[in-house]
Structure 1
């Protein structure tokens, strides 16, 4: 195998070398292939990304330093039709012979086949033509660079270029930039013709980007224009635009300094064939008119219903279907307030967030009733969405439980349920799938199934018996959601019924911040088939069975093959060990192993009731999907069972034989849980991005519990975690994933990924994932699984690998290959690169980026 691998690698290297030597295959004589653009500023090379973006010509793209696309292009026959015809021209009689064997029509079609033409079209389209140095484009680039440095304050910049040959038909271009000293801003004064705007400017002058002592930068002047415009338009200057701001730059008699005069002219009013100027006016809102059922069809019709509420005028072309406050609470434009773009934007966002209207239109007109012409009427046009909307989906799924699944769902949305802009969403789903990990005595392909029903009612306000406007003002777009759900799984592990319900409040403290407070989050998990435990968790059964082969003395526990019978034999043998009816003693490691297996079985087969309260805060600087320079921070704190314990204590309710409180004859869970998640992206230009993610989470049981429910615990591994391990197959600690579904109550994870473009929409990535899970402050006794001190950080696993991403615009298809680089399951000194080979690699398929 090693010999074959060496031969294959040698063949690939030779092929690359041959192609690389042929990189100038399509470069005409007397021309040169562009290898590099070198920008020299005052004699020193610069990596200024913005300067590099001024180039009209850039070298052919590379993949890890290799010009893959160029060489693919060079492999193509650019004129396959001519080549095909030449074959017959150079071989008289060949066409006739092939026509007799096939037919003339088929021979002609053969020339259009993939073998003769399609493959060359593919190579040409996938590849990239050689970038041949064009001196006219070089001169245009030089002019761009001159303007770039001039706009950054280097008014005396000088530019030149030279082309250096670096091999046969290969060359690089040196752009030589001599900047001279940068010009600094000296005196800054203003000439604002409108007195009202002059007063406004002086109240906000300190935030100006144009200040004495700053280096001259054209971008600062443009940003200052936008800052002034935003400020004026938020303080009543309805007709103000950036074009009214100009600058007079004076460098006469100055040495590397420039005086700046900021000029803001008066308003220009066009009147037929002439124009005039007058000072800008600051407008106030005299009326707010809301048209609740506007459409192009009824825009010329008569208003049939109207009302006035809190100085808002509501109109309807039919019967008014909304409680006035439901709409007026979403509008920040108020009668008597100063015109403001920000209020307009907030109103549009809030109205859109109601999800009962299409995107709203807000228009202003001068109120002719005002003799001073300084009043505006705000007209809000709302087009309702359909009250009822139906949706259906069909999906192919893959998860840590299912190898393959088919899912279908239907949903019904009902808008404006109680005439106060509420939205009710009802959905049903069903899924059937196949899993090789599940117990499957009948060997059916579709051996797992799940169905469920969910309901969610959204209110565009905070539902509480007291006012919250001072704490959470409406500009934060608050909402309340009440949800409930039911799902049932069959042939998935122990088979489960899952009942959920919740009451949550959502709001946005700032533009890119969100907060969520779940006052109540209730979950009841009922295991329908707990006796199936050892059929599902086979590793636990095998460990228990191996111990029974040595210590079991009761023949009724075994089948004809001498193995423990599920469930009778496993239960009896475990009880006999723990009750001292075998030769095993508590000091024996096998006794502790049986104790650990039983603890896990009880924990995973018990029904769970969780009543939790949580708060989640998210902050991000990401502006849109194309933003590759941002960070995101998310933190969550959750507590469960505390309210129930407080009630039980106050009411002096009795405890059960285990010393715990019960509700509905079931011990409820009690714990506190906190999580921190941080993501950071750096954009290095040319579609190169470095992404980093760090995560820490811990859940500590107390009071009524000494362990964390399975549904609230952590696992490691998988396509969005440590990609060198399968889901649930890493940890806890150094236990070597001894169980089938390994989980714990503390997790540390750190991932880094460098993304780059290969060609077209195909992207590549190299990554490193570190992390693990541990048990801490719970009832797990296995020392290898516990986190006792900082020395256990040596059990953090490391996986590295590479991947490919194909960008379909609306989502990304991802394929990652991970290798176990540092595996804490091995003995110390034998953990590095022990399984670093293709035989132990893990392939992950995912949708979108992992973080």
Structure 2
């Protein structure tokens, strides 16, 4: 009988033989290139500096050796065993050319070229006394290139000399004024890359001051390395051969706008009759069909006649034209004016999108209550309803949501409804609001209706209307202020089954009570998650909801003192609510990351309310929350409802919420990704509820946190992500305080434990 150590030795031997087998396919005299190695030897710099330089230099070496995993070049092996295909199709051709990888030979390596690349790179980082030598080592038909680098001490900047602010040259004087935020600083290491960035910075500043024809190549940064020991002086100059027009400041003269520019027939677009020309303020608009009202361009373009040219205003104007959402293509040109010296004529060419469109959508949906389903939408849009880029949207929808796994399986949800909205590309307000961002601010009005039927239980009619503003400071920050947000919910078709349960449970009754909510809402969103190369990215959304405040003050509502006020026969809700959702994404490698989320929310009912209305309360648990517990089944606090196995499980809600999640995500292969996660949190009530003992928030809230963990698979199909998570609880807040940690009870072999604790979630998209 062979013991385990011998198995391990045989396995290692097989791997070694497998790794060596690639060389037998090489022709006589050929050697497999296994990579380049850089050795930095210099006692004048620290070990940390040497390590950084070594990593940077090895990344510059070419060619790259064959890819390997644990020392095994699997792709090369597949290439070799596939052999030469006889035709350009079939399995052998696919394995060799699509899966496999041809050998990288040592004869393909130009060591002298690599040595020059290494030498130049190090010198460009300020190591002016660098010496680079190259060699190679070979064994068993494998060869490696060796590069030895002796750097010397890195040079630092002693002084940066800019042109003087004199009256002899306007350009020199302007450059002198922009030196305050220079990237070249005394005491910093010399770097050619930073010098290039500084030239770009100066050019950008000059462009904003009217120097339209200037470019970074007209700047010269001289390096004087004779001024001291390992120090340099940098002298910033304008090259003598700089053309005269690059030294001049230009102003905007005439502004021409072509809002119906055709890429397919430029001549017909530019040719126009006198009747086609429309003068509006500083703009000459060529729009024969009068597709757009001229005011839209006055609101969008930053340039006006007589303005000094500015690259910032140039880009802002283009960005705003694009963000209108009305044009398919936007192009801009500046030409020397023939009628005005040192002036530019600006031309804007826009190709509009189809004004009206009809779109039919079929969607897959998933929500935090662990319901999954589909929805059909029909959307009609008019992108310029009143000829000033106003967007009118009318949509109707219908959908079905089912719970695949969970106690509410069979209580399906049917939804039908419609929505109409109009969005203006400006602020509509009695108060003038200044706007100088690259993104068009928007004013939106919306009305909607939804009929929701929960099978076997009840139906709800929901009416909503809102009016407010959306604006962005930049690509990362977004604001939404709804000046008024009205929501009215009325029940219909309540079944005897549900009414019987509601008669014994005030929480269930609140679901079918009439609800009226009105007041302003505000949300702030920051995200830089689109920057895929950053190691750390963040997402934050904060929202604030203020309902019924003015109505409560006017009517003197105080439900605790028996004075409940009504509007149109319905008791309105009065509360303050805010919620914070913070997420952090740590990039561990190209194929893995650590995602963390923290959510905190609080709602304070007062005046006409003792608790938040049901549709504005917090919920926790489910596929997008704490996945080890069934949807909306946790809390509030240590409360646990007593529900028979086959009865409807009511949603547990609260006025306060805390939730935390950490998830390790990694790509496994192809479209398959994996995840390991830990979730924690709970909800609580602001006031005592005799029907929910233990539900009120107290100083012991940490001892009432639910904790769960699990693993999952995600299938990234590009157009959607299909997610499967399997989770189980580590801490149950509804148990006696000394028994809440249930780690010791975990028993995957027990059928009873699996039935009571394993929760399988199916969802679309990532949980956060």
TM-score (structure 1 length as normaliser)? 0.75
Q: What does residue 612 of structure 2 align with? A: 708
Q: What does residue 367 of structure 1 align with? A: 337
What stretches of structure 1 of length at least 5 have no aligned partner? 1-8, 86-110, 270-276, 535-565, 575-597
> 2: distance between equivalents of 1:717 and 1:140?
60
Q: Among residues 723, 742, 756, which one is paired with 1:831 in the alignment?
A: 742
Q: What does residue 181 of structure 1 align with? A: 153
> 1: distance between equivalents of 2:41 and 2:672?
34
Mapped pair 1:457 → 2:366: no
Q: What does residue 317 of structure 1 align with? A: 288
* 761 and 531 in structure 1: CA distance in 2 versus 1, 3 angstrom threshold: closer
> Contact 1:824–1:831 at 8 Å: present in 2 too?
no
Q: What does residue 446 of structure 2 align with? A: 483
Q: Among residues 509, 512, 516, which one is paired with 1:602 in the alignment?
A: 509
Structural RMSD (CA): 4.3
1:682-731 superposed Cα distances (whole Å, 9 cap, x missing partner): 33554443333222111121111112222212222344333334432444
Alpha-carbon shift at residue 664 of structure 1 (Å):
2.1
Q: What does residue 692 of structure 2 align with? A: 782
Q: Among residues 658, 661, 668, which one is paired with 1:748 in the alignment?
A: 658
Alpha-carbon shift at residue 346 of structure 1 (Å):
1.1
Mapped pair 1:642 → 2:642: no
Q: Equivalent residues in 2 for 1:687-706 (5 A)?
A: 687-706=591-610
> Contact 1:37–1:59 at 8 Å: present in 2 too?
no
Q: What does residue 22 of structure 2 align with? A: 27
* 252 and 47 in structure 1: CA distance in 2 versus 1, 3 angstrom threshold: closer
> Contact 1:714–1:746 at 8 Å: present in 2 too?
yes
* 343 and 75 in structure 1: CA distance in 2 versus 1, 3 angstrom threshold: closer
Q: Equivalent residues in 2 for 1:259-338 (5 A)?
A: 259-265=233-239, 280-295=247-262, 296=266, 297-318=268-289, 320-338=290-308
> Contact 1:188–1:262 at 8 Å: present in 2 too?
yes
Q: What does residue 525 of structure 1 align with? A: 489
Alpha-carbon shift at residue 236 of structure 1 (Å):
0.5
Alpha-carbon shift at residue 357 of structure 1 (Å):
2.2
Alpha-carbon shift at residue 436 of structure 1 (Å):
5.6
Alpha-carbon shift at residue 39 of structure 1 (Å):
6.8
Mapped pair 1:466 → 2:440: no
Q: What does residue 670 of structure 1 align with? A: 574
> Contact 1:767–1:800 at 8 Å: present in 2 too?
yes
Q: State the aligned residue count.
A: 730
* 528 and 281 in structure 1: CA distance in 2 versus 1, 3 angstrom threshold: same
1:30-68 superposed Cα distances (whole Å, 9 cap, x missing partner): 978969978767566736775564354378465xxx68x
Mapped pair 1:619 → 2:526: yes
> 2: distance between equivalents of 1:449 and 1:14?
62
Higher mean displacement: 746-755 or 730-739: 730-739
Q: What does residue 507 of structure 1 align with? A: 471
SS at match of 2:318: helix
* 736 and 243 in structure 1: CA distance in 2 versus 1, 3 angstrom threshold: farther
* 72 and 233 in structure 1: CA distance in 2 versus 1, 3 angstrom threshold: closer
SS at match of 2:172: helix
1:52-103 superposed Cα distances (whole Å, 9 cap, x missing partner): 64354378465xxx68x95688689833899xx9xxxxxxxxxxxxxxxxxx
Higher mean displacement: 136-145 or 248-257: 136-145
Mapped pair 1:397 → 2:365: yes
Q: Among residues 32, 51, 55, which one is paired with 1:46 in the alignment?
A: 51
> 1: distance between equivalents of 2:84 and 2:66?
30
Q: What does residue 156 of structure 1 align with? A: 129
> Contact 1:820–1:836 at 8 Å: present in 2 too?
no
> Contact 1:283–1:374 at 8 Å: present in 2 too?
yes
1:742-763 superposed Cα distances (whole Å, 9 cap, x missing partner): 3322222223334444455655
SS at match of 1:425: strand
Mapped pair 1:794 → 2:703: yes
Alpha-carbon shift at residue 424 of structure 1 (Å):
0.3
> 1: distance between equivalents of 2:515 and 2:190?
66
TM-score (structure 2 length as normaliser)? 0.82
SS at match of 2:353: coil
